Structure 1
Amino acid sequence: MKKSIYIMALGAFGIITTEFGVIGILPALVKEFHISIDTAGWLLSAFALTVALAGPFTNMLTAKMNRKIIMCLVLGIFVVSNLLSAVAPNFTVLMIARILPAFLHPVFWAVSMTAASKQAGPKDAPKAIAIIMAGLSVATVLGVPLTTYIADLFSWRISFILSAMINLLAFGALAIFVPSMPVDEAAESPKSQVKLLSSAQLWVKLLTATVILAGMFATYGYLAEYLDKVSHMSGAQISVMLLVFGGTGIIGNWLTGIALSKNILGTTRLFLLALVVMHLLAYKFGGLFIPMVTILSVWGLVHTGGFLVANLHVIDGIQGTALDFVNSLLPSFFNAGITVGTLLGGLIIAHYGIHEVIWMTVPLLLLSLGLSFVTVKEKQVANETIADKPIELEPVQAVVCE
């Protein structure tokens, strides 16, 4: 079971390297295709928007497929996408190649998260999910900085070939070492699962998670450009800084997993406050090399745990078949947040400059902090528990703050 979880984390590493690896090469693409930075940012936001819109449908269409087969299919498509991106003759072709794998991206996340949770059991589910999320952390440690470095050393096209090789490695490990994962037909109850959508509290949590991701990526989506224009770092220095950012992120992801196992809500609020502080410090000292190195180290420590925080904030208290359903929704809401964040960040950059992008992130993070205090009182039907099936909830009008 542990081996399967770590291999799924490798798959997460592959697809996140593809999705976010473009962050580090945006300046190179701006020069190559003679476009603005906010236009280049669409390579990230369009990918995320596709995931957000396609997620519920692709998860529904693949619900009956063997879990191992569908994850292999996703990774195979990511390999092809990266190879097409590497030979793209213009920005339009590159955009199309980027969007193709986004349709099945949410399937991998929903399947891997649910599989990890079920294999670990309710008690250790946060730790198992943290392992999958570690794939994201390692992608920021190695994937994003490495693709940035390869692009600076050779060309941006070679960086896409590197991403293809990473996904191919994950595909091979999954195909060879992970056992078959047939769908448990007895556990499938779509009608019962959809009833969970009557929970107003679930929608508050999903909105909170979406705003958290928007706040994170309003600035992070343009971090390489920020370090270039504000901190005046060279391409090699940016690669090293992204490596430092992700390296401390691995530690942060591990610490966040431990903290969430003890107190999910408290950890969520502490994370948001810490991230606000890091952005304010980056704005104040962004033009100073040495202070910015220190800030990036701590920023990475905090930032990388954001996906895990948002994930567990939403699924806290949800078990059984309801967990499958909610996990299938999360990629859509997460990527909706990424889309909104990068678009708003690009808008600020276009009108006020890259340095001011921080002032889009801070309000979004404070908004998500406020939402974490909102509780919608709902009634639970007697003799039913969410572990057996989603509870039937009767929404009421009262909304209170903790």
Structure 2
Amino acid sequence: MNKSIYIMALGAFGIITTEFGVIGILPALVKEFHISVDTAGWLLSGFALTVALAGPFTNMLTAKMNRKIIMCLVLAIFVISNLLSAIAPNFTVLMIARIIPAFLHPVFWAVAMTAASKQAGPKDAPKAIAIVMGGLSIATVLGVPLTTYVADLFSWRASFVLSALINLFAFAALAIFVPSMPVTEKQANPKSQLQILSSVQLWIRLLTSTMILAGMFATYGYLAEYLDKVSKMSGVQISIMLLIFGGTGILGNWLTGIALSKNIQLTSRVFLIALAIMHLLAYQLGGFFIPMVTILSVWGFIHTGGFLVANLQVINGVRGPKLDFVNSLLPSFFNAGITLGTLLGGFVIAHYGVHEVIWMTVFLLLISFSLSFVKIKESRKKPAKSTEPVELDFVQ
């Protein structure tokens, strides 16, 4: 694979470390600024909400910018944001420093995904996207624990400095080694990009992705609680299990990319069924330590590939400048799915107990599986006075 793809994966690692790295230092921030835990939680939820709302608009505004320049700009803003966070004198300044880069977060993802797929070519596009998505997987496995460790070793401010350094390193690599990527398509304008929103099939695929993420996080969002209450694991054991879960997920993400290169539709359906089966096994054997360790290892292996499955089943067949726009929609729908899943999972836990949350995940995954069979034949009418091709066909 082109080295540029790995550099973009490094940028993804820096961005996700910035987004989720705050999770491990929330207790320290509560003490530092004398705020409640739910208020501190807005550092994460506020970031995610901004990403969800801003994605399509920020991408349209930057549609004509050189792809290398916009990615460098995003990473530079993330560097500045982390440095401002490190010296924040109060919670308000910290919140502002966190929200600013969230506006451009989806732009980096949209551009990186599109650039990676174009550089690799149609055949190897899933593998290339899997590499970039690997930056997300590694950030959740290593980035978050690393920033938490640095905060414990020095202070919470040091964790933001570390995130700044990671993004700075990615910025330098991108600026030095990645070639210029000018936008050459004549159609790269908001009106042309918005054309694809007339595709009913696209909306079905976006809904499917939302349900996939909701299903993944309905239980995963409360996994530590599940291991505590159902599996009766200690805090140390839970930490080790989560590390194993994420570690096998890195391998799973890579192999899922290879499988998707061969058949996107079949791989997506196998993924959904396999993930549902692992949840059912966890429901039946969650109270037994050794079986649960094995289940978690396989569960993590399957789970992380879900981000890639949800991504590729949407963009499959979308070409040209519209691909940037569709990719920019994905963070919004991914965040919506995560929010929906955690809300529904929390509802089940509150009313029926944490053990029963498994059934909500299975239900949502089955909805996603059913939606994968829905096919809508698209209209291919062209505007009367337009020479632009209408690219609304979807390759199966």
* Corresponding residue of 2:273: 273
Q: Kindly indicate whether residue 172 of structure 2 is the aligned counterpart of residue 175 of structure 1.
A: no
Whether the 8 Å contact between 1:110 and 1:327 is mirrored in structure 2 is: yes
Whether the 8 Å contact between 2:17 and 2:144 is mirrored in structure 1 is: yes
* Corresponding residue of 1:215: 215
* Corresponding residue of 1:254: 254
Post-superposition CA distance 1:210-265 (Å, at most 9, x none): 11112222333344454455555555544433322222111111111111112111
Q: Kindly indicate whether residue 130 of structure 2 is the aligned counterpart of residue 124 of structure 1.
A: no
Query: Structure 1: which amino acid aligns with 2:205?
Result: K
C-alpha distance 150-378 of structure 1, shift in aligned 2 (>3 A): same
How much does 1:9 deviate?
Answer: 0.7
Seq. identity, % = 80
C-alpha distance 366-29 of structure 1, shift in aligned 2 (>3 A): farther
* Corresponding residue of 2:82: 82
* Corresponding residue of 2:370: 370
How much does 1:344 deviate?
Answer: 3.5
C-alpha distance 392-363 of structure 1, shift in aligned 2 (>3 A): closer
Whether the 8 Å contact between 1:45 and 1:339 is mirrored in structure 2 is: no
Post-superposition CA distance 1:341-395 (Å, at most 9, x none): 334444445555555543443322222112112112334349xxxxx833468xx
Taking the aligned partners of 1:180 and 1:78, their CA distance within structure 2 comes to: 21
* Corresponding residue of 1:380: 380
Taking the aligned partners of 1:148 and 1:226, their CA distance within structure 2 comes to: 22
Q: Tell me the matched-pair count.
A: 388
Post-superposition CA distance 1:9-63 (Å, at most 9, x none): 1001111222233455567767886746x76655443322211110011111111
* Corresponding residue of 1:67: 67
Taking the aligned partners of 2:92 and 2:371, their CA distance within structure 1 comes to: 38
Q: Kindly indicate whether residue 22 of structure 2 is the aligned counterpart of residue 10 of structure 1.
A: no
* Corresponding residue of 2:328: 328
Query: Structure 1: which amino acid aligns with 2:18?
Result: T
1:332-371 to 2 correspondences below 5 Å = 332-349=332-349, 354-371=354-371
Greater mean deviation of Cα atoms: 329-338 or 344-353: 344-353
Post-superposition CA distance 1:271-328 (Å, at most 9, x none): 1122222233334444544333222211110111111101110111222233222222
C-alpha distance 92-52 of structure 1, shift in aligned 2 (>3 A): same
Whether the 8 Å contact between 2:380 and 2:390 is mirrored in structure 1 is: no
Greater mean deviation of Cα atoms: 10-19 or 228-237: 228-237
SS in 1 for 2:7: helix
Query: Structure 2: which amino acid aligns with 1:69?
Result: I
How much does 1:80 deviate?
Answer: 3.2
Whether the 8 Å contact between 2:6 and 2:132 is mirrored in structure 1 is: yes
Query: Structure 1: which amino acid aligns with 2:258?
Result: I
C-alpha distance 363-12 of structure 1, shift in aligned 2 (>3 A): same
TM-score w.r.t. structure 2 length? 0.85
How much does 1:4 deviate?
Answer: 0.9
C-alpha distance 168-269 of structure 1, shift in aligned 2 (>3 A): same
* Corresponding residue of 2:114: 114
How much does 1:90 deviate?
Answer: 6.7
* Corresponding residue of 2:385: none
Mark the runs of 5 or more structure 2 residues left unpaired by the alignment: 383-387
SS in 1 for 2:121: helix
SS in 1 for 2:378: strand
